[in-house]
Amino acid sequence: MQHPPDSIPSAMAASNSQLPRLRLVSTRREAEEELAGEIRDLCARKPAAVLGLATGGSMEGLYRELVASHRRGELDLSQARTFNLDEYLGLPADDPRSFRAFMREHLFNGVNLDSDRIHLPDPLAARADPGGYGAAWERRIEAAGGIDLQLLGVGRNGHIAFNEPGSSASSRTRIVELARATREDAAPSFGGLEKTPRHAVTAGVATILEARALAVLVFGPHKAGALRAALEGPVGPDTPASFLRLHPNCRIWADREAAAELGETWNGA
């Protein structure tokens, strides 16, 4: 089944949002160990699981746990498939600041994923034919059977993947212009804001919400405002992470610093 650009997942058809399951943890290591265990369980039940992967600091500890699990003989990814969410435009294929390089360093080089089952966005192909590339990426996910578990972080401005504020619930895989806040956060890696990429290719909000389950990691005081807006603010494009409330199977792990601005609804989560 192919999706027109303005279609949204059935999970989003309900008129009312719902509360994701929030797990408050004392340390991020606690969250990383728990989620790594759930990924091990998923891959044991379904060896050919399809995993949606994210990049960034929120994922580094989780990937260390998965590599350690594999080395202990507890995790076999030989039949799994993976799809990454996004990639910067304008970087050479071998650029060490690319998300491709990030994935090799933090996960791929340490586990037994088959290279033919790893799917990474191709920024050159996306730039050459944005519409065609986005549609082809969506078809590739569909041909794999859909994503079983999508990993996510939340940006300081409330973005998920590179769906910046203003992204609609119906957005699909496409090229986007990166928000200044996103570029500022990435600037140290690129030697300054002016050297930081201005565009990226990203899976859309609707693409993300079609995954059967979402697992979100949010750590640190700099994410507190974004988490509050995502869970307590209006559901809408001003905070793309708020669309997570439209998914029937979304779990969020947050440390106390990230959850510091949440109301009493979340006490004891």
CA-CA distance, 266 to 269, in Å (whole number)? 5
Catalytic residue chosen out of the listed positions 65, 86, 138, 255: 86
* Dihedral pair phi/psi, residue 254, rounded to 5°: -140, 145
What residues contact residue 115 under an 8 Å CB cut-off, 6+ apart? none
Select which of 32, 84, 87, 157 is catalytic. 157
- Count CB neighbours of 25 within 10 A: 20
Q: Active-site residue among 138, 164, 210, 255? A: 164
Nearest to 219 by CA among 98, 62, 36, 19: 62
Q: Is 267 a catalytic residue?
A: no
Catalytic residue among 3, 70, 106, 159: 159
Asked if 257 contacts 224 with a C-beta cutoff of 8 angstroms, the reply is yes
Residue ranges with strand state E in the chain: 21-25, 50-53, 81-84, 86-88, 118-119, 149-153, 174-177, 199-202, 214-218, 250-255
> Which residues make beta-bridge pairs with 175?
201
Q: Would you give the DSSP letter of residue 89?
A: S
Active site includes 86?
yes
- Answer yes or no: 164 catalytic: yes
119 is a catalytic site residue: no
Task: Give the residue numbers annotated as catalytic, written as ranges.
Answer: 86, 157, 159, 164
